[in-house]
Amino acid sequence: MSGAWHPGDRVPAEHELMVEFDCSRMTVNRALSALADAGFVERRRRAGTVVARPRRQMAAIEIPDIEAQVEAAGARYRLETLSVDRIDGAAAPAVARLEGAAEVLAIVCRHHGDGVFALEERWINLDAVPRAAGVDFGRVAPGRWLLDYVPWTEGDYRIAAVAADPRLTVPADTPCLSFERWTSRGGQTITYVRQVFPGGFALTAGGSG
Amino acid sequence: MSGAWHPGDRVPAEHELMVEFDCSRMTVNRALSALADAGFVERRRRAGTVVARPRRQMAAIEIPDIEAQVEAAGARYRLETLSVDRIDGAAAPAVARLEGAAEVLAIVCRHHGDGVFALEERWINLDAVPRAAGVDFGRVAPGRWLLDYVPWTEGDYRIAAVAADPRLTVPADTPCLSFERWTSRGGQTITYVRQVFPGGFALTAGGSG
DNA sequence: TAGTGGTCTAGACCACAGC
DNA sequence: CTGTGGTCTAGACCACTAG
């Protein structure tokens, strides 16, 4: 972190650090493995450990659900559900990647804080989450419900700037942030959501390189 | 990952798993610690290990530099540097958080791929990176140079949608993605950058919850 | 083929926090 | 007080790969 070691520099071998720090090889290995996981060094058998050449920037972002975002901004949250429909999987838009699903729940809602905070269009795979059919999404936001009740293992995200959607009731020339997310578990898509935020929001993140 | 264990469920203690899987406690501990680091379980002394209640969505995003993005899209990259100025730290915009710096390098450039890809405004703290004063930023993009030569330990990011900047030479009503980044090491701000992309770009990410 | 990291073991002592 | 996880040790065998 001080920058004293430069990318490509050789890090002493485990047995040398073991002597230098008077500890066992297991302890050295755990430390170096942690550095390797964090991307600070690269390790290869026989070749040894070298300071990593940062090739890309990595960051861990934390995505609070919308209700938490609104409340963090000091406003009171209100959900307005525009429609909830049970449709055939083939009727879902292709972008949702839900072609294989027999039944899909299609939800459109608005999140309000101090004004309209976000528009959300969501498709839930009822084959993967049958319980969702019995939930009153007029009262609980789909994102919150899924977060609480449906574990997931893979997520894909896409962030882009788009023009305002008329359903946001903001001036048509307001630049908006589009946040898309595909959530799946074991290769099966659980839900696809597209959220549109007027103006944007902050993603706090950390990282190193 | 199968969802068979629900949030709050108790995970067997290390000595039980040791018997079940016929391995040493160290091995069990490493597995459970990895699961805890990944956020799948929570561990507390005496209380034991339980399946975590996902409270928020976390994702690790990978941010390639612009040159790599352009080339990944199949276009040829070209850098156009509009201005490079050595200024007083006090003259940098407050948002750059560079008030303490004696000297700052202010750079404005355009990244071209198939058309204008991005506009970049960057401020580099010359107190922290004196070598930057000798670099020809008309030939090498500041982001690429910094990535190669300046290690960093903390990064903050902000993503928002904004109107088009005239310097992007795209229609004024084109929604654009603004990507801001503060990079620091040991509490000292190294660089602040604001990049504006017409339309947006994809951030591929992974995560679990 | 020898040097390096990857991983496991059996045992130990300790810190912490429910009971 | 006691059950739990946190961490360390000394030693071992193995996998990979650069020279």
Q: Is B120 part of any domain? A: yes
Residues B188 and B101 occupy one common structural domain: yes
Cβ <8 Å between A159 and B203 = yes
Does residue B106 sit in the same domain as residue B161? yes
Looking at residue A84, its pLDDT comes to 97
Look at chain B and count its residues: 209
Could you identify the residue written with the tokens 């040829």? B76
**pLDDT band (50, 70, 90) for residue A52:** confident
Q: Which of A105, A95, A98, A209 is nearest to A160 (CA)?
A: A95
Point out the nucleotide closest to A27 (alpha carbon to C1′).
D8
Closest CA to A26 of B115, B112, B29, B50: B29
Q: Residue with CA nearest C17 C1'?
A: B46
Residue A36, CB, strand C, below 7 Å:
yes
Counting residues of chain A whose pLDDT is more than 70, the rounded percentage is 90
Query: Does a structural domain hold residue A154?
Result: yes
Q: A165, A154 in Cβ contact below 8 A?
A: no
Contact of B155 with A59, CB cutoff 8 Å:
yes
pLDDT at B209 over 60: no
d(CA A195, CA B22): 48
Q: How many domains does chain B have?
A: 2
Contact B58 A62 (CB under 8 A): yes
Q: Which residue has the higher pLDDT, A58 or A172?
A: A172
User: Does B184 fall in a domain?
Assistant: yes
CATH code of A172's domain: 3.40.1410.10
| Region label for A189, one of left (φ > 0), alpha (ψ between -120 and 50) or beta (otherwise) | beta
Task: Tell whether B47 and B64 lie within a shared domain.
Answer: no
- B161/A197 Cβ within 8 A: yes
Tell whether A73 and A91 lie within a shared domain: yes
CB-CB under 8 Å, B57 with A147:
yes
Q: How far is Cα A163 from Cα A172, in angstroms, rounded to an integer?
A: 7
Other beta carbons within 10 angstroms of residue A43's beta carbon come to 16
Backbone phi, psi, residue B35, to 5°: -65, -35
To the nearest whole angstrom, how far is the Cα of A37 from the nearest Cα of chain B?
Answer: 11
Look at residues A122, A52, A119, A139 and name the one whose alpha carbon lies nearest to residue A87: A122
Strand D nucleotides, any atom under 7 Å from protein beta carbons: they are: 2-12, 15-18
A46 is in which domain, residue-wise?
10-51
Closest approach of chain A CAs to the CA of B68, in angstroms?
9
Q: Cβ distance B186 to B125 under 8 Å?
A: no
Q: Which residues contact A58 (CB under 8 A, 6 or more apart)?
A: A39, A207, A208, A209, B60, B61, B62, B63
Classify residue B4: in a domain, yes or no: no
Q: Is residue A140 one of the residues assigned to a domain?
A: yes
Residue A152 pLDDT > 60, yes or no? yes
Residue A203 scores a pLDDT above 70: no
Look at residue B157 and tell me if it is in a domain.
yes
Q: What is the DSSP string of B117-166?
A: EEEEEEEEETTT-GGGGG--TTTS-HHHHHHHH---SEEEEEEEEEPPPG
Residues A133 and A84: their CA atoms lie apart, in Å, by: 10
* Interval B43-75: pLDDT, tens: 999 999 999 887 666 666 666 678 888 888 899
| Overall average pLDDT of the A8-16 stretch | 93
Q: Is residue A22 part of a domain?
A: yes
pLDDT > 60? residue B169: yes
pLDDT grade, residue A55 (50/70/90)?
low
Question: Could you tell me if A161 and A87 lie in one domain?
Answer: yes
* Mean pLDDT value of segment A47-67: 77
Single-letter amino acid code for the residue at A18 = M
- Residue A169 contacts by C-beta under 8 Å, 6 or more apart in sequence? A116
Scan residues 10-29 of chain B and list those with Cβ within 7 Å of strand D: 11, 13-15, 25-26, 29
pLDDT band at B186 (very low <50, low <70, confident <90, very high): confident
Alpha-carbon gap, residue A167 to A90, rounded angstroms: 25
B66 and B44 share one domain: no
**DSSP state letters, B178-198:** EEEEEEEETTEEEEEEEEEEE
pTM of the model: 0.77
